[in-house]
Amino acid sequence: MSEFRAVVAHEILANRRSRAPQLLIGVFVGMVAVSAVIGWITTNTVSGVYDQIRANGLTSQPNPFTDVSVLYYARNTIIYVVLVGSLMAIALGVESALRDRKAATADLVLSRPVHPRVLLGGRVGGLATVLGLIVGSGTLVSWISLSLVQGASLSVPLTARLLAFGILTWAFLVGFAAAGVLSGLYLRRETTALLAPFVGWAILAFVLPQLGTALLNPVAQVPRTSGIFHILSYLTNPLSVTEQFKAVSSSLLEGPPGPSPFPAVALIVAFSAAMTIAMLATPLRRIRGGIDV
């Protein structure tokens, strides 16, 4: 157990010292911080647009934007988790694996009575802790921003929803970090190890849902009912972990009520578990040895 703790502590220390992924962490936390402000400004303006439409006599329907929950302002955060958070988690995972391979420290550590599973488990434990700290900071920043926008502290039910979104985000990002470690362990060249999961992520996020840049809009698209889109979404949506994350998170942040969130949550947890198990099952010869730049 002490070996496991030592690996976790080493992983946290190494991440604190590694500069390049910190750039991604900075972008992620920064975007989460401004997300509430962007959401607030936009919703206020749209509410004004709607009032103007009513004033011009173009509709008599009541303004749907006046009574939105304050969590509605944070809905852009969902997109930043999918776009920035997952790339940050991949970069952290790849760096973690490459760091040891380049310095050949795994060979040294494994010359001691340390089981490879303990080494890999400690690594993913360290990464999960780092991601927990990042997501925790992001959630705290969101809570403060939303409270400032609202002019009062968030209520307990709204705080609970924000926390649930944070936990889901953490589970989602751990899967991508484990995928990054896997890539760093299995691919021979440093560049390929970094790029392969990035390209995989791009396909998962953009090509699979057949949405193109529609991903960038947190507002749900009108469902396409014509044959080919219906069949494609039927086939690809259950596989698209990013789309499932978007759907559940929208419900959590008081978006439009959707179907039961449990299958989507199960898919996200299964994705993270599968990546972690695959990483833990890495053979010893893959953990040892250097790497080409």
Partner 1 sequence: MSSGTIFARKELVDLRRDRVVLLLLGCLALAIIVSVTVASLDFRAQLADYHAYVQQLIESGSTVTPTVPRLFPLQLLRAGIEYLEIIGALFAIIIGYATIARERSRGTLELLMTREVGRFSFAGGKLMGIGAFWLIVVMGLSLVATATMAVVGTAHISPGDLVRVGIAGVFAWLYLMFWSGLALALTGWFKRPTTALIVALVLWLIFVLIVPQIGDTMDPDNQVPGGLFAALQIQKSDELAVLAHFARFDSLRNGLEVSSISKLYERITFAFLGIKDKYNQQSLAFVWADMYHYVIAVFAMTTAAMGLALASGNRRSILRKAS
Provide the binding-site residues for partner 1, judged by CB under 8 A. Answer: 19-21, 23-24, 27, 31, 38-39, 41-43, 45-46, 48-50, 52-53, 56, 58-59, 61, 65, 76, 79-80, 83-84, 87, 91, 95, 98, 189-192, 194-195, 198-199, 202-203, 206-207, 210, 212-213, 216-222, 224, 226-229, 232, 292-293
Least distance from partner 1 to the Cβ atom of residue 29, Å: 13
Which residue, 121 or 218, is less far from partner 1 as judged by CB?
218
Q: Cα(132)–Cα(173) distance, rounded to whole angstroms?
A: 9
Which residue, 44 or 155, is less far from partner 1 as judged by CB?
44
| Residue 24 burial (CB count, 10 A) | 18
Which residue, 47 or 159, is less far from partner 1 as judged by CB?
47
Cβ-Cβ contacts under 8 Å for 114 (sequence gap 6 or more): 3
Residue 292 three-state SS: strand
Least distance from partner 1 to the Cβ atom of residue 273, Å: 27
Least distance from partner 1 to the Cβ atom of residue 235, Å: 12
**Phi and psi, residue 292, nearest 5°:** -85, 145
Least distance from partner 1 to the Cβ atom of residue 287, Å: 20
> Is the separation of the CB atoms in 189 and 293 below 8 Å?
yes
Which residue, 2 or 56, is less far from partner 1 as judged by CB?
56
Helix, strand, coil % over all residues of the chain, rounded to 5: 75, 0, 20
Residue 189 three-state SS: strand
Least distance from partner 1 to the Cβ atom of residue 80, Å: 8
Q: Which amino acid is at 111?
A: S
Which residue, 153 or 292, is less far from partner 1 as judged by CB?
292
Which residue, 14 or 195, is less far from partner 1 as judged by CB?
195
Q: Cα(75)–Cα(37) distance, rounded to whole angstroms?
A: 11
Q: Provide the β-strand partners of residue 292.
A: 189
Least distance from partner 1 to the Cβ atom of residue 66, Å: 13
> Is the separation of the CB atoms in 136 and 29 below 8 Å?
no
Length of the chain measured in residues: 293
Which residue, 173 or 265, is less far from partner 1 as judged by CB?
173
Q: Cα(82)–Cα(281) distance, rounded to whole angstroms?
A: 27
Least distance from partner 1 to the Cβ atom of residue 11, Å: 18
> Is the separation of the CB atoms in 3 and 125 below 8 Å?
no
